[in-house]
């Protein structure tokens, strides 16, 4: 079983702060990295699918980068808002299967 690690486990920031967190994944037989936003009592919502080394994707105030050689992806949130509070989950596709991290739980205080 391959291991996907996310850090930090949780994060508390003030409204307006910018923040970032990390997803580390195995680089062997890697095909894609998925990022999800998961609010409590809801289903995970897809943010980005990243495949190529050096990929950068952006959706509003949220952006992500990918380094497939060293096996990590960063997710950035610029000017956090209370509605950004959620768990951010990554999943790596290696050897034809998805492997999930434990998520980073973000709490943005107004």
Partner 1 sequence: EPEVTQTPSHQVTQMGQEVILRCVPISNHLYFYWYRQILGQKVEFLVSFYNNEISEKSEIFDDQFSVERPDGSNFTLKIRSTKLEDSAMYFCASSPAGQGVYQPQHFGDGTRLSIL
Query: Do you find a cis peptide bond into 103, omega within 30 degrees of 0?
Result: no
Of the two residues 17 and 100, which places its CB atom closer to partner 1 in the complex?
100
Torsion of CA 23, 76, 110, 103, to 10 degrees: -10
Q: Cα–Cα distance between 92 and 106 in angstroms, integer?
A: 20
Of the two residues 67 and 87, which places its CB atom closer to partner 1 in the complex?
87
Q: Which residues bind partner 1 (CB under 8 A)?
A: 1, 4, 31-32, 34, 36, 42-46, 48-49, 51, 89, 91, 93, 96-102
Of the two residues 13 and 38, which places its CB atom closer to partner 1 in the complex?
38
* Minimum gap (Å) between residue 107 Cβ and partner 1: 19
Q: How many angstroms from the chain centroid is the CA of residue 5?
A: 10
């Amino acid at each position: 079983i391959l291991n996907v690690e996310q850090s930090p486990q949780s994060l508390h920031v003030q409204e307006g702060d910018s923040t970032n967190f990390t997803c580390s994944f195995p680089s062997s037989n890697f095909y894609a990295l998925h990022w999800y936003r998961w609010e409590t009592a809801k289903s995970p919502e897809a943010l980005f699918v990243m495949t190529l080394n050096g990929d950068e994707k952006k959706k509003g105030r949220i952006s992500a980068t990918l380094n497939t050689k060293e096996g990590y992806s960063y997710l950035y949130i610029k000017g956090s808002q209370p509605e950004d509070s959620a768990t951010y989950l990554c999943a790596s596709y290696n050897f034809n299967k998805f492997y999930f991290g434990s998520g980073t739980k973000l709490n943005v205080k107004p």
